[in-house]
Structure 1
Amino acid sequence: MTEKSLAHALLTKLEHHITSHNFGESPNELYEPITYIMSLGGKRIRPLLSLLAYGIYGKNPEEILSQASAVEVFHNFTLMHDDIMDNAPLRRGKATVHEKWNSNIAILSGDVMLVRAYDLLLGTEPSLLPEVIRLFNQTAAEVCEGQQLDMNFETYETVSEEEYLNMIRLKTAVLLGFALQLGAILAGAEKEDAQKLYDFGVNIGVGFQLKDDLLDVYADKAKFGKQVGGDIISNKKTFLLLKALELAEGADAKELNHWLSLQDFNKEEKVNAVKGIYEKLGIKALTEAKMQYYFDSGFRQLESIHFKNEDYFQNLSAIVQDLVHREK
C-alpha cells in the first residue's frame, strides 16, 4: 500500500467499530450522551497509534479493534469530565454533554464510559490481560494527576518550567505512550521495543502540547479554527507565558504583570501587547527549541526499535510527522 494508505484503511474500520458499538440502551439519558460524544469525531489518533503499533509486529491489526477503541473511549471520558471542570460550552464545535444535558448526567455517563473502556479490553489474550490492565490503570491515574495539577496551577502565583512539562506529560502525553505500548504488547513485541514506543509517544505528546501552546499565539487565524490568543486572554499558564515571566525584567516585567492583573481590557490590545513582549524576549524561538527537543527525542526512540513490518512502521512515522508539522 502507498504511504499512509494503511492508516486510512485502519481508520475507516476503527470508525465503524466505534460508531456501531452498543454502549447500553436504558435509561436513555445515561447512554445517549456517550453515543453523542463518541459521534463528534476527532482524529482518533490514539487508537490509530495502537493499531499501527500492532501492525509493526503482528499480522492483522483488526484483531485489536476493541482494545484500540478502549483507548478512545477512555480519552473521551476524560474530555467529558474535563469539560465540566472547565465549564466549556463547546467540544469540536458542538455543545458539550453537560450543556446539552446537565452536569450530573455528564458525570454519570462519563463514569459508565470508563467502565465500558474496561469491557473493551477484556478480549485481550488472558496471559497478557493483567499487564494490560496494570498499565491502563497506571495511565488513567496519571491522566487524572495531570488534570489536578493543571487545576492547581490556576491558583499558583508561579509555576516552574519543570512543573509545567511534568503536568503536560501526565495530562496529555502518557495516554499517547500507552496507546503505542498497548499495540506492541498485544502483538507480542519485545518488552524493550514496547517501552521505546511508549517513550516515543510520551515525548511526541509533550511536543504536541508545546505546539498547541505556540499555535494559540502564532497560528494563521484562517487555519486555526478558533480564536488566536485565547490563552493570553485567559492568562493560561502555558510554556510561553511561564518563560516570559521567568525572563522578563524591568519595564517588560512590569507591563506583562499589568496585563495579567487587568480584569477589564480590550482583547485584541492585550494579545498584541503580550505577543510583543514574547517577541522581545525571544519566546517563540525558545518554545520551538523545546518542542523540537521532544520531537527529536521521540523519533530517536522510534528509529531504534526492531520492527517486523516496514509498511506499518512507515505509516506510523508518516502519520506522526503530519501532526508534528500541522498548522492548526
Structure 2
Amino acid sequence: ASLIERSGYTFDINAIEKSILEPANYLLKSGGKRWRPILMLELIEALGKDPNYYFEFSVIPEVIHNGTLIHDDIEDGSVMRRGMEALHKKYGIDIALNLGDFMFYFPIIALLDSKKIPMATKSRVLETYQRNMLKISIGQATDMAWHSGKVKIGDIDEDKYLQMAYSKTGVLIGFAAELAGIFCEVSDEKVKALGTFGATLGVAFQIEDDILNITSSKLSQNKGGVGDDITEGKITLMLLHAVKEGDKKDKERLQEIIRMHTSDPALINEAINILNKYDSIAYAKKVEKELLQKAWEDIDKLLPPSQAKERIRKITEMFGNRNV
C-alpha cells in the first residue's frame, strides 16, 4: 500500500510541497543532535541484531521529536530554534501546526507499510507509540500550566518536576530504546527496562538543557538568548531548589521575576545570581549525574559485553558533558 491512499481525485503537489516538504526540509536541515536514532541502532546491535536492517526506521523517533519541537516553539512563543528563525515565525502558525501533526504520523505509517517487519512487531510498535504520545501530551500540558502561572510555584516539588521532564523529554528517547527492543523481539519486561533507560537519559538531558540555558551563551543564543527560560517563566529543578532552600526575601523575589516573563538582562542576571547563591545549579548537576549513573547501572545488567555496549556507555556519559 502507498503511504497515502488515492481517492481517484488529484493531489495539488505544489500545495503539498509549499506547506509540507519545503518547511520540513527547512527544519530538518537546521541540524539537531540525531542521537535518538544513533541510540536505537546501537541498542539493536548490542541486543544481537544487524542495525543496518532497521536503519530506515531509526528516523521514527527523530521525526516525531522534530514535530514536538514545532508545537513546543508555538506554545512557548519561541522565535529561534537551532540558531535559525523558528518554523512558525517563518512559515506561519497554521502551516507549522499542520506540519507538526504530519511528523507525528508519517514515520509510523511508513513502518506499517513496510514488508520487512512482521505484523506482530508492528502491533507492538503501534501500541508503544500511542502510549508514549499520550505521555508527551501530558508532560507538555504540565509544563504549560506551570510556566503560564496556572499552578503556584510553591505547589510544585522536585518529584513533580522529574515526572514532567520524564514525560515531556524522556519519553521519546525511551521510545527509541523501546523500538530497539521490539525490533529485536525481546520480552515486554525487557522493552520496559530499555524504555526506562532511555527516558532517564532524557530527564538528565532536560536538566542539562536548563543548566546550559543560563550558563552557556553558545546554546542559549541558538534558542533566544541567555536566560530565555527565565523570560518564558519556565519551572526548572534549579528554580525549585532555590525556592525550597532560599530565605523568604530571595525566594519571593525569584518567583516574582519568573512570573514577570521579563527579557530585561538585569532582572535575568538577578534571578541567576539567586540560583547561584543557594548552589542550585550545582544541585541540579548533582541530580543529573545521579540519574545518569543509575541509568547506566541498570542497562549494564541488561546488555552482554560488546563494542556497541561500550559506545552506549559513551553516549550516556555524553549526556552529562554537553556544551550545546
Normalised by the shorter chain, which TM-score bucket?
A: 0.7 to 0.9
- Specify the alignment match of 1:169 in structure 2: 166
2:58 is aligned, of 53, 56, 68, to 68
More off after superposition, 141-150 vs 50-59: 50-59
- Specify the alignment match of 1:48 in structure 2: 38
Distance in 2, matches of 1:224 and 1:95, equals 14
Summarize deviations over 1:194-217 as a string: whole Å, max 9, x none: 332211111111111111122222
Amino acid of the residue matched to residue 193 of structure 1? K
**RCO (CA 8 Å, sep 6+): is it higher in 1 or 2?**
1
How far 1:46 sits from its partner (Å)? 1.0
Q: How many residues align?
A: 302
Is 1:300 matched up with 2:297?
yes
2:197 is aligned, of 172, 197, 200, to 200
Distance in 1, matches of 2:142 and 2:275, equals 25
Is 1:100 matched up with 2:97?
no
1:323 is aligned, of 307, 312, 319, to 319
How far 1:222 sits from its partner (Å)? 5.4
Is 1:311 matched up with 2:304?
no
Amino acid of the residue matched to residue 247 of structure 2? E
Distance in 1, matches of 2:99 and 2:136, equals 19
Distance in 1, matches of 2:58 and 2:272, equals 40
Matches within 5 A, 1:13-162: 25-27=13-15, 28-31=17-20, 32-122=22-112, 123=114, 124-154=117-147, 155=149, 156-158=151-153, 159-162=156-159
Q: Percent of pairs identical after alignment?
A: 27
Summarize deviations over 1:209-250 as a string: whole Å, max 9, x none: 11112222233x357655332223443211111221222223
Matches within 5 A, 1:240-319: 240-260=238-258, 266-267=264-265, 269-307=266-304, 310-319=306-315
TM-score scaled by length of structure 1: 0.84
How far 1:25 sits from its partner (Å)? 4.7
Distance in 1, matches of 2:35 and 2:213, equals 21
Task: Give the 3-state SS of the residue equivalent to 2:119 in structure 1.
Answer: coil
TM-score scaled by length of structure 2: 0.85
How far 1:130 sits from its partner (Å)? 0.9
Q: 1:284 to 1:223 in 2, by over 3 A?
A: same
Distance in 1, matches of 2:72 and 2:207, equals 19
Structure 2's unaligned 5+ residue stretches are: 1-11
Q: CA RMSD in A?
A: 2.3
Amino acid of the residue matched to residue 44 of structure 1? R
Summarize deviations over 1:106-125 as a string: whole Å, max 9, x none: 12222222221222322332
User: Is the Cα–Cα contact under 8 Å of residues 252 and 277 in structure 1 kept in the other structure?
Assistant: yes
How far 1:104 sits from its partner (Å)? 1.1
Amino acid of the residue matched to residue 307 of structure 2? D
How far 1:133 sits from its partner (Å)? 0.5
Summarize deviations over 1:1-55 as a string: whole Å, max 9, x none: xxxxxxxxxxxxxxxxxxxxxxx95422232222222222211111111111111
User: Is the Cα–Cα contact under 8 Å of residues 77 and 111 in structure 1 kept in the other structure?
Assistant: yes
Amino acid of the residue matched to residue 144 of structure 2? M
Amino acid of the residue matched to residue 318 of structure 2? D
User: Is the Cα–Cα contact under 8 Å of residues 202 and 298 in structure 1 kept in the other structure?
Assistant: no
